[in-house]
Chain A
Amino acid sequence: MNTDTKPVMFIFDLDGTVTSEETLPLIANHFKVEEEIENLTKETIQGNIPFVESFIRRVFILGKLPVSEVADLLETTKLYPHLLEFIQTHRDNCAIATGNLECWSYKLLQKIGCAYYCSDSIVENNKVVKLTKILRKEQIVENYQQEGYKVVFIGDGNNDLEAMRVADIAISVGTTHYPSKSILPITDYLIFNEEALCRQLSQLL
């Protein structure tokens, strides 16, 4: 139980943390551009290619695809059911921070139902023509802290590292794949099981 006077804000990474499958490979498979994207994703999760560079390269590849179709596809991404239930029960104390483009992810995020923060782009003729903002997750953490929240960040990838470093409590999850080794030195809790994660989140309320 949270005995601080501060309210708690749980900020979740999306891919592999709330979803039980990565969304970018899902897009790549659907539109048959696996080969181009697969290596990039793998190297990025491992921390071998800087996240921002990798992200720009992925948007170049995937931006040509019809945006509305991508959004419909991502709406069907598999989610962790008990974690989803936790988020929906405590939606005012939960937020999602994902580097993915809003135009691709908004249907999925609205289905989840809490506040969300994404990267932005300009869409013309149902295609991504320009990347305008790449989300820095640590800024979301800092914003909530300035509003007086105690922030718990839950993530699994190298692109969660700075946000987890800034957060009051950092939880690494290995529910979908083993978390990036780079985040373990700043991790408070490491959890491999959805029920155990939900239990820990409830204990932090």
Chain B
Amino acid sequence: MSSIKSVVISCAGIGSRLGLGQTKALIKVNGRSLIAWQLELLKEVEDIRIVIGYQANDIIEEVLKYRNDVVFVYNHRYFETKTGASFYLGAQHGNDFAIEWDGDLLVHPDDVKTILNTEGEFICYAEKSSDEAVYVQTDDKGNVLAFSRETGDYEWTGPACIMRDKIKYSSGNVFNQLEPYLPLKGIKIRAYDIDTYSDYTRVMEITKNWI
């Protein structure tokens, strides 16, 4: 893992679509909270920045069980903002490159290694699996040409890595922040996000033997 990259884990949101009544960082997947999964998968990373908002104190308490050398970044306006604002806040005073990592996304351990060993900027995507997704359109080398709500070859999942100074404050989502810099190198990964209850049960099954 190159030390010049920060990993920004976004955990500020409410996670209301899941309907479990708590922030997604704290829901248990196979006995382990989602944030604990991220910390295990990212344990080689020196500069981890966790963006918190809803249930911040509970997330802090959970994180401190595993490591105390992270930087907690507050997004006090988590109710009015989306992932773009959290990524901006998390990255703005970090290292020169920032890897955006959704707190509710589980990435296969081997692919985590690939991501952390890849130099420079990139965007990760996965096989289509969600009903409601943002898609990526790629060229024959797998580079990302465009994002689309309608159609594309793969599903946009993140993570993505970009130079910190290119990340502008956004009231939208992370893919909106990346759009001005396309095309970007693409990496196909095995990644599953948890937005709905059916995602949740499916991810439990998939990740059973991951760690």
Q: Which residue from B57, B71, B74, B165 sits with its C-beta under 8 Å from A200?
A: B71
A192 to B93, Cβ gap below 8 A?
Answer: no
A196 to B70, Cβ gap below 8 A?
Answer: yes
Taking A196-B70, A203-B94, A204-B93 as contacts, is the C-beta distance between A190 and B165 under 8 angstroms? no
Q: How large is the interface on B (under 10, 10 to 19, 20 to 34, 35 or more residues)?
A: 10 to 19
Taking A3-B165, A184-B56, A199-B47 as contacts, is the C-beta distance between A191 and B93 under 8 angstroms? no
A152, closest chain B residue (CB) = B93
The total of chain A residues at the interface (CB under 8 A) is 18
| A159-178 interface with B by 8 A CB criterion | 169
B71 to A189, Cβ gap below 8 A?
Answer: yes
A185 to B76, Cβ gap below 8 A?
Answer: yes
B94 to A189, Cβ gap below 8 A?
Answer: no
From residue A93, how far is it (CB to closest CB) to chain B in Å? 15
From residue A199, how far is it (CB to closest CB) to chain B in Å? 6
B69 to A190, Cβ gap below 8 A?
Answer: no
From residue B201, how far is it (CB to closest CB) to chain A in Å? 34
From residue B144, how far is it (CB to closest CB) to chain A in Å? 27
CA distance in complex: A169, B74 (Å): 12
A193 part of interface (Cβ distance < 8 Å): yes
Secondary structure of the A contact surface, majority rule: mixed
Q: Which residue from A3, A169, A184, A196 sits with its C-beta under 8 Å from B71?
A: A196
B1 part of interface (Cβ distance < 8 Å): no
B76 to A191, Cβ gap below 8 A?
Answer: no
CA distance in complex: A191, B64 (Å): 11
B96 to A193, Cβ gap below 8 A?
Answer: no
CA distance in complex: A192, B74 (Å): 14
B95 part of interface (Cβ distance < 8 Å): yes
| B37-56 interface with A by 8 A CB criterion | 46-47, 56
Q: Which 7 A-B pairs have the closest CB atoms?
A: A190-B72, A193-B69, A192-B68, A196-B69, A193-B68, A203-B93, A189-B71
Residues of B that sit less than 8 Å from A by CB: 46-47, 56-57, 60, 64, 68-74, 76, 93-96, 165
